[in-house]
């Protein structure tokens, strides 16, 4: 049995309590990208199958890709740099895009950004320049949706632990997630969700061992 099949078997009950008919139920391999349009009113559940796996996320208004998730607007509106149950993810127009309706992981990051080949080289050395990164995933998957590098903005990091010290410095440290923990979001508009199952192996955000995740969308069928 492959790792993906095993992960799917271990989480076979994930979709049973999301609510509504299941439109998508998919295991996303380690290091891979995923995207779909989640319609207004649908629920998106992201499951950390192996534990301690960061999932980078970008959101775009499905019928107007120039409107997209704004980390700044979201942080200012909720007066919290961490995302928790009840957090509303706002666009750069101030419109609610998705709302976190439930999370079994205590909080999620919205300031740590996405890894790239350039940042890997700067932080960890030139020997990492060949390593696939979240920006590569966003460009590859986003390109299928008509997005380019100009459309990439500061992203959400589900399950990632980025504490802020008293002096304002950030740290990427061991995650607070565990196998089977999940986050659920209700779409407040038709939204294109772009995910990168983070391939980073140079810091603890994935426990130095990227693993699969599971994505479930409940409700009417979504655009494939």
pLDDT tens track for 160-203: 998 888 887 777 778 899 999 999 999 999 999 999 999 887 77
Average pLDDT score over residue span 8-25: 63
Q: Is residue 204 part of a domain?
A: yes
- Decide: 160 and 85 in contact? Cβ < 8 Å: no
pLDDT recorded at residue 116: 67
Q: Is a pLDDT exceeding 60 seen at residue 21?
A: yes
Q: What is the mean pLDDT of the chain?
A: 87
Residue 189 domain flag: yes
pTM of the model: 0.87
Split at pLDDT 50, 70, 90, the class of 216 is very high
Residue 147 lies in a domain: yes
pLDDT, residue 223, reads: 52
Q: How confident is the model at residue 17 (pLDDT cuts 50, 70, 90)?
A: low
Which residue(s) pair with 191 in the sheet? 38, 61
Sorted by sequence, the CB contacts under 8 Å of residue 18 that are 6+ apart come out as: 43, 45, 184, 216, 218
Confidence of residue 221 (pLDDT cuts 50, 70, 90): low
Please state, in angstroms and as integers, the Cα–Cα distance from residue 223 to each residue in 17, 60, 129, 153, 193, following that order: 22, 14, 35, 23, 11
Q: What is the pLDDT of residue 46?
A: 98
Residue 173 lies in a domain: yes
Q: Which domain holds residue 131?
A: 24-218
Does some domain include residue 1? Answer: no
Within a domain: residue 116?
yes
In a domain, 2, yes or no: no
Number of domains the chain is built from: 1
The answer to whether residue 14 scores a pLDDT higher than 80 is no
- Asked whether residue 3 carries a pLDDT value surpassing 50, the answer given is no
**DSSP code for 204:** G
Strand partners for 33 = 196
131-153 residue pLDDT tens: 668 999 999 999 999 999 999 99
Q: Is residue 205 part of a domain?
A: yes
């Amino acid at each position: 049995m492959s790792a993906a099949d095993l992960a799917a078997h271990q989480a076979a009950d994930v979709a049973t309590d999301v609510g509504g008919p299941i439109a998508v139920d998919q295991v996303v391999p380690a290091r891979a990208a995923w995207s779909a349009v989640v319609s207004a009113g649908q629920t998106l559940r992201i499951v950390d199958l192996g534990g301690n796996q960061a999932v980078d996320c970008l959101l775009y208004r499905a019928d107007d890709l120039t409107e997209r998730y704004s980390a700044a607007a979201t942080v200012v509106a909720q007066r919290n740099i961490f995302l928790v149950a009840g957090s509303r993810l706002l666009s750069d127009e101030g419109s609610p895009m998705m709302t976190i309706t439930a999370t079994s992981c205590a909080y999620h990051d919205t300031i740590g950004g996405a890894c790239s080949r350039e940042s890997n080289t700067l932080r960890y050395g030139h020997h990492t320049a060949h390593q696939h990164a979240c920006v590569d995933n966003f460009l590859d998957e986003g390109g299928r949706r008509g997005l380019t590098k100009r459309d990439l903005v500061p992203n959400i990091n589900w399950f990632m632990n980025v504490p802020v010290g008293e002096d304002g410095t950030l740290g990427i440290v061991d995650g607070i997630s565990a196998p089977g923990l999940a986050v659920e979001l209700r779409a407040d508009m038709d939204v294109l969700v772009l995910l990168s199952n983070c391939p980073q192996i140079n810091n603890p955000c994935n426990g130095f061992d990227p693993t699969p995740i599971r994505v479930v969308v409940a409700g009417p069928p979504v655009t494939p």
